[in-house]
């Protein structure tokens, strides 16, 4: 029997229409375009303004984009993994609702939450299901409505995050393409440095938690930056060493889009030319679970069959890692 590998065979994406530019943010908090651009690389981010639409809306749109472009029957999808840090609601899994709404009624679905590493972890999970031989079509969606948890009076966080979603389809491959290796890690030391304090079982919602804005994302920027730079770079470097890859062997680096300086540091550690680093943070900001698939969607036209692609991410918790994948198709 031929060895089964799990390859990405289709990509889809969606971002809301409303653009929140740095110039607009200047009217909301004490900041300016030069300061934001210099420190983050972000120029604008997309915001889902509709109060009656949640993360599921973004996810459904991205999945529908993939289904339409790949011309696949939703009934053939075996499972849906929903990578998100901002589910529509507690308990009722967002992925289950998304699967039903896109017509994937033969699939089972669930949510996966690892902050900004959610999609990276989801790639590992989706690939494992396919490689097991049990499932043929696994839809992995990364989506977050970060505007729902951002405090727009906090200039340290409101400049960073945006809303968006992307989706990929994992299918069996018999040519040795697809996911080759992974290095995934986590460390609970990060629990205090990047979090939403209230709303869980530890600090349930109350009048006081709402008044104190404890349902918004909070971070110790300097600490998170230090850990992110070190761990994303270390993980990516280890993946290259473990697979005997040189910088010449790497076709593309697909990094989590949290901060341009973190991206540059990771690329620098690998000694990669800037032309090999895929970046769209200036247009979307940090969409958390949506960053990696949005990069794939934006640059799908550059990816060629057989390309060596290195993914890297870092998220709250802390969670981080790197994945080595061989691209499986040329865009038609």
As a whole number of angstroms, the distance between CA 288 and CA 141 comes to 12
As a whole number of angstroms, the distance between CA 296 and CA 317 comes to 25
As a whole number of angstroms, the distance between CA 278 and CA 299 comes to 7
Strand partners, 114: 116
Of 158, 216, 256, 259, the catalytic one is 256
Please state whether beta strands 218-219 and 252-255 pair in parallel, antiparallel, or not at all (unpaired).
unpaired
**What is the CA 83 to chain-centroid distance, rounded?**
8
Structure token digits, residue 20: 């929140």
Coil, helix or strand at residue 105: coil
As a whole number of angstroms, the distance between CA 79 and CA 66 comes to 15
CA angle 222, 225, 226 (to 5 degrees): 85
Of 22, 231, 286, 308, the catalytic one is 286
Residues whose CB is less than 8 angstroms from the CB of residue 129 and which lie 6 or more positions away in sequence, other chains included: 6, 78, 79, 135, 138, 170
Residues whose CB is less than 8 angstroms from the CB of residue 23 and which lie 6 or more positions away in sequence, other chains included: 33
- Is 136 exposed, middle or buried (CB count within 10 Å of its CB: 0-12, 13-18, 19+)? middle
Known catalytic residue at 158: no
Structure token digits, residue 148: 């729902």
Known catalytic residue at 256: yes
* b/e 177-188 (16+ beta carbons within 10 angstroms → b): bbbbebbbebee
Structure token digits, residue 110: 């669930």
Residues 171 and 9: beta-carbon distance below 8 Å: yes
Of 116, 216, 231, 308, the catalytic one is 116
Please state whether beta strands 178-186 and 194-195 pair in parallel, antiparallel, or not at all (unpaired).
unpaired
Catalytic residue set:
116, 256, 286
């Amino acid at each position: 029997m031929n060895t089964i590998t799990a390859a990405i065979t289709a990509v889809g994406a969606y971002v809301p229409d409303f653009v929140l530019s740095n110039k607009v943010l200047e009217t909301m908090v004490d900041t300016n375009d030069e300061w934001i651009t210099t420190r983050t690389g972000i120029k604008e981010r997309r915001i889902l303004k509709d109060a009656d639409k949640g993360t599921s809306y973004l996810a459904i749109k991205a999945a529908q984009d993939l289904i339409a472009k790949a011309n696949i029957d939703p009934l053939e999808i075996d499972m849906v993994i929903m990578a998100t840090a901002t589910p529509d609601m507690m308990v009722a899994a967002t992925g289950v609702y998304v699967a039903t709404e896109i017509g994937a009624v033969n699939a089972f679905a669930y949510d996966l939450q690892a902050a900004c590493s959610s999609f990276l972890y989801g790639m590992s999970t989706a690939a494992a299901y396919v490689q097991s031989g049990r499932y043929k079509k696994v839809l992995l969606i990364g989506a977050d409505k970060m505007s729902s948890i951002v405090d727009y009076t906090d200039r340290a966080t409101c400049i960073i995050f945006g809303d968006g979603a992307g989706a990929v389809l994992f299918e069996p491959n018999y040519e040795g393409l697809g996911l080759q290796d992974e290095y995934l890690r986590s460390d609970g030391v990060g629990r205090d440095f990047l979090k939403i304090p209230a709303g869980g079982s530890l600090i349930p919602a109350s009048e006081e938690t709402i008044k104190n804005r404890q349902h918004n994302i909070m971070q110790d920027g300097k600490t998170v930056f230090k850990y992110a730079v070190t761990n994303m770079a270390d993980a990516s470097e280890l993946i290259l060493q473990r697979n005997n890859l040189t910088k010449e062997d790497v076709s593309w680096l697909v990094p989590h889009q949290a901060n341009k300086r973190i991206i540059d540091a990771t690329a620098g550690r690998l000694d990669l030319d800037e032309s090999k680093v895929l970046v769209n943070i200036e247009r979307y900001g940090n969409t958390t679970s949506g960053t990696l698939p949005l990069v794939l969607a934006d640059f799908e036209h550059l990816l060629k069959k057989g390309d060596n692609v290195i993914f890297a991410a870092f998220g709250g918790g802390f969670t981080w890692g790197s994945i080595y994948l061989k691209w499986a198709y040329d865009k038609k």
